[in-house]
Each structure stands twice: as C-alpha cells, then as structure tokens.
Amino acid sequence: MPATSLSFAIEKLTQQLIALPLPPAAQEDKVVQLRVEVDAAIPLIAWLASQQQYPRIYWHGRDKKEEVAAIGCARDFLFQDSIDDKQLALIYQQQKALSADPAIRYYGGVAFDRSIESWPEFGRARFILPRLELRRSGDDFLLALNLNFAEPNPELERQRALDAIKQLLPPRPLMPPHKVGLMARHDSPAYPRWQQLVQQVTEPTFNNAVPKVVLSRVSQLEVNEIIDPWMVLACWQGRNQNSFQFGFQFSPHRAFISCSPERLFQRRDRQLHTEALAGTTVRGLSQQEDDLLANQLLEDSKNSYENRLVQEHIVDVLTPLCEKVDADTAPKIFKLTHIQHLHRDIRAQLKAGVNDFELLQALHPTPAVGGLPRAEAMAFIRSQEGYLRGWYAGACGYLNKYESEFSVAIRSALLESGRISLYAGAGIVAGSDPKAEWQELENKLATIISILIDF
C-alpha cells in the first residue's frame, strides 16, 4: 500500500531496513534497493535544497515525465587523475552484475575532454549510486534507499543507511528569486582572442582539414553573496521547460547546474534515440517574426551545413554498433525561450551486447560541442581555447541495467563561493563571422543572466 505522506514513507522505509535479513536473502543481489510509494506531491528541488547530506543530485527529463532528487552515497566511482574508457566500462559491467533490479541507477557524468584534468570533486568521470532517492514518474512518487552489500560488513552498511535516513529533513520553500550584485565580469577568451581563434579556424588551409571547431567561452561573474544553486536551477527550469534540467553538488564548495536542450542518447534496452542539435538563431518578438527567423534558419547554408555535419558524424560512429540507423533527412526547428535550433532525430537498433560506455565513447563529445574531425578539433580546443571546460559540454545522466539517458551539458553554470561561471559555445565553420558568433554566445546566456543579474 502506498504511504500517505513523506514522513510515513520514511517510517515505512526504516522498518523495511531493520527487518531486512543480512546478508540479503537473494545472495546474488549485492546491491539492493528498498522502495516505498508516497501518496503526496513533493517539490523535489525544494526537498533536495533542504537536505544537509552530500552528494546532492537532481535530474529532470526533457519529456517532463520523470524527475529525481538524490542524496548521499552508497557507491562512488571517481576518476580524478586518469581514466580509461575500457576500464570504466569493465567496472560498470561488474557493478551491474551485482543486482538484477532494473530500478538501480548510477547518476553522474564524464568531462568534455577526458584526456586532461577536470574540476575538483567532479573528476574526469564520476558516477554515484545514491543512498536515498525521491523519484517522480508522472504523478507518482516514491522514496528509494540503496544498499551496497558488496562490502564485507553488511551490518555496518545497514547502520550507515539508518544514519542517512535519520538525517533526512522535510522540504522547506526555496529562497525567493532575487538578483545579485555583479562586482565584475571576466570573459575567457576575451573578444580580441576570440576573433583570432575564429580567424584561425576559418583560414582556408586549416578549415579544409578541420571543417568545424566548436569554440566556447566562460563568463565568470564575481558576486557579493552566496547563491543557492537549487533556487537558480528552479528559476531556470521555469523558463526553459523544453530542456533537460540537472545538477550535481558533490560538496558544499561548488555545484554544477544545467538547463540543456541537447540529448546525447537515450537507450531503452536495445532501442537508441539520439539527435543532431546544431545551428542557432534568436526568437522573434511576435509570432510572425519568430516564424520568419525560423524559416531563415532553415534556409541558412552555414547553419544547415553545421547541422548536417553533426548528423552525418553521429550516423557514421553509430553504424558499427547498430543493426539499423535511421535519421531525419531534413532538420526541424527546436524552440527555447530566447533561441531556436536546427534539430534532426536519429533512431537506431543496437547490436546485442553493446553497452552504455561504448555509446559514450562513440558519441561523446559530439561535433555539436567539439568539432570535426573529432581528434583534430579537440586538439585545437585543448591547446588554444585557454580555459578548463571541466564538465561543461560533458555528458551527464544516469545508467542502469535496461535503460540509460544522457544529456550534453550545454547552457550550464558552475557556482562557487562569490563566483558564478557561465558557459556557452558556437560552432565555427567556413563563413563564420567573429562578431555574429560572439553575439550567439550572449544569446545563449540571456536566460540565465536575466535570472541572476540586476543591470
């Protein structure tokens, strides 16, 4: 029977945990999830922001049907200094074998460039089996507790889980949205350097060999107060409802949040759904102007070329992993609050045995955030862009036995004490104009800046 309130669900979950035989009756299941339904609507971001345990993780699907708030840690995979994709896949396959439960999920992400250092706490890749999850699917809510009995002391694991439950706090309203005082802003690269980089990429000899490089910029805002990342994400969510919304806060020191329109991939068993999202223009002030801008985007040769490059690359890298790959022949318009994109759907049937890390290795980073050819574009970004992207333009999402979903972490922010770093990028191809591309970066940051700063 479903619980009638969150507090009653917590009580029922505690009773289940205390009554659970140790070791678990199903010996092959070393990772166990206990679940209690909650017959009450819970504001998940507010609940998450109220907790004192770390990590704090939030995931909201682009289809709006699913939402997850998770805290604490039952199992942590952090790759800080080096990472090998094959080793990462092997570790995950071993972990996946510890449970047959299709509800067990590992949330996390991989950095944009796994060959170099990344942000503290985030690492080149990090995946968490949370201790506690509050999940919403449509109008249904449940509270889940994850237990890791792969360790030698199951009673200690049970006690850790009991301690985590005891620390749970009820949701309290988020702080009301308010603008912060901007003390300074620093763009890296600054415009003169940006102009040089665009000219380098569009120089004919270079461009013939590397037809696309996605250049990006970090805009660091120095502010005079501590900002609640979950309040910011909630506001952002309200203005960009057609996006994935997610956040990772591994410690009190920094939080990474994103309202990204871009799906890297969604897997349901062997069915794969991905997309080419590239080519951008602004929204109109009227429906007539909006339609005109959309039609101009569809007819623009530079943006259409950029989108086609992304689509062709994704089909090429998926083909060896799939029995069948189908892609839209022509792009459609994907609308957000301040901008609109060219978009193509790509659907595939995976070959038997293909795992999520093979998909990550093949698809990430896509040409929409890196460039083409991938190795040459990445080498240029690594040596010339001038700042550390970290998880910006990385792949963030979740994995489990039968399904997985990842978003590309564009339209994102890193919040630290006294500083907010905002990220945006633009695909540079033949014919790109430095001023127009710089303005595209501003357009992409317009929503989040309007939430944060009072001009």
DSSP of 61-117, one letter per residue? Answer: -TTSSEEEEEES-SEEEEE-S---HHHHHHHHHHHHTT---TT--EEEEE-S-TTS-
Q: What percent of the chain has pLDDT over 70?
A: 98
Q: Which residue has the tokens 């633009």?
A: 426
Among residues 67, 133, 262, 385, the one annotated as catalytic is: 262
Residue 2 has what pLDDT? 43
What structural domains does the chain harbor? 6-166 (3.60.120.10), 182-452 (3.60.120.10)
CB 51 within 8 A of CB 169: yes
The three-state secondary structure class of 408 is strand
Give the C-alpha distances (Å, rounded to integers) separating 58 from 22, 135, 198: 31, 10, 36
- Give the three-class secondary structure for 313: helix
Evaluate whether 371 touches 210 at the Cβ level (below 8 Å). Answer: yes
Interatomic CA distance for residues 207 and 163, integer angstroms: 58
Mean of pLDDT values over 342-368: 92
pLDDT of residue 26: 56
Mean pLDDT, range 169-187, rounded to an integer: 86
| Assigned token pair, 80 | 């800080």
**From the candidates 12, 67, 133, 212, which is the catalytic residue?**
212
Q: How far is CA 373 from CA 258, 348, 365, 428, in A?
A: 27, 23, 11, 13
Instruction: Say if CB 70 and CB 133 are below 8 A apart.
Output: yes
pLDDT in tens, 267-317: 999 999 999 988 889 899 899 999 999 999 999 988 898 899 889 999 999
- Could you give the CA distance from residue 27 to residue 252 in angstroms, rounded to a whole number? 37
The tokens for 77 are 């995979």
- Given a cut of 70, whether residue 428 has pLDDT beyond it is yes
φ, ψ (nearest 5 deg) of residue 122: -90, -40
In Å, how far from its chain's centre is CA 305? 26
Q: What percent of the chain lies above the pLDDT cut of 90? A: 72
* Confidence at 328, pLDDT banded by 50, 70, 90: very high
Distance separating alpha carbons of residues 88 and 71, to the nearest angstrom: 23
Distance CA 66, CA 103 (A): 13
Specify burial of residue 346 (Cβ count, 10 A radius: 0-12, 13-18, 19+): buried
Judge if the upstream peptide bond of residue 177 is cis by omega within 30 degrees of 0: no
Q: What is the pLDDT of residue 211?
A: 94
d(CA 177, CA 450): 11
Asked if residue 23 has pLDDT above 50, the reply is yes
Please indicate whether residue 212 is annotated as part of the active site. yes
Residue 233 identity (one-letter amino acid): L
Closest by alpha carbon to 45, among 228, 269, 296? Answer: 228
**What pLDDT score does 88 carry?**
80
The residue written with tokens 């060896």 in the block is 320
Average pLDDT over the chain, rounded to an integer: 91
Distance CA 326, CA 190 (A): 41
Asked whether the beta carbons of 425 and 215 are under 8 A apart, the reply is: yes
- Averaged pLDDT for residues 220-239: 91
State how far the Cα of 228 lies from the Cα of 83, in Å rounded to an integer: 31
Residue 125 has pLDDT above 50, yes or no: yes
The stretch 185-200 carries a mean pLDDT of: 97
Least confident of 95-99, 290-294, 340-344, 394-398: 95-99
Answer for the pair 177, 451: CB distance below 8 angstroms, yes or no: yes
Per-residue pLDDT tens digits for 241-250: 889 999 999 9
Per-residue pLDDT tens digits for 60-116:
998 878 999 999 999 999 999 887 777 788 888 888 788 888 899 999 999 999 999
- Taking 60 as the threshold, does the pLDDT of residue 4 lie above it? no
Contact 114, 124 (CB under 8 A): yes
- DSSP track, 314-368: HHHHHGGGEEEEEE-SS-EEEE-SSEEEEEEEEEEEEPTT--HHHHHHHHSS-TT
Predicted confidence at residue 25, as pLDDT, reads 62
Give me the phi and psi of 388, to 5 degrees please.
-95, 115
pLDDT tier for residue 1 given thresholds of 50, 70 and 90: very low
pLDDT of residue 27: 61
Name the range with the highest mean pLDDT among 91-95, 171-175, 393-397: 393-397
pLDDT of residue 454: 64
Could you tell me the pTM of the whole model? Answer: 0.93
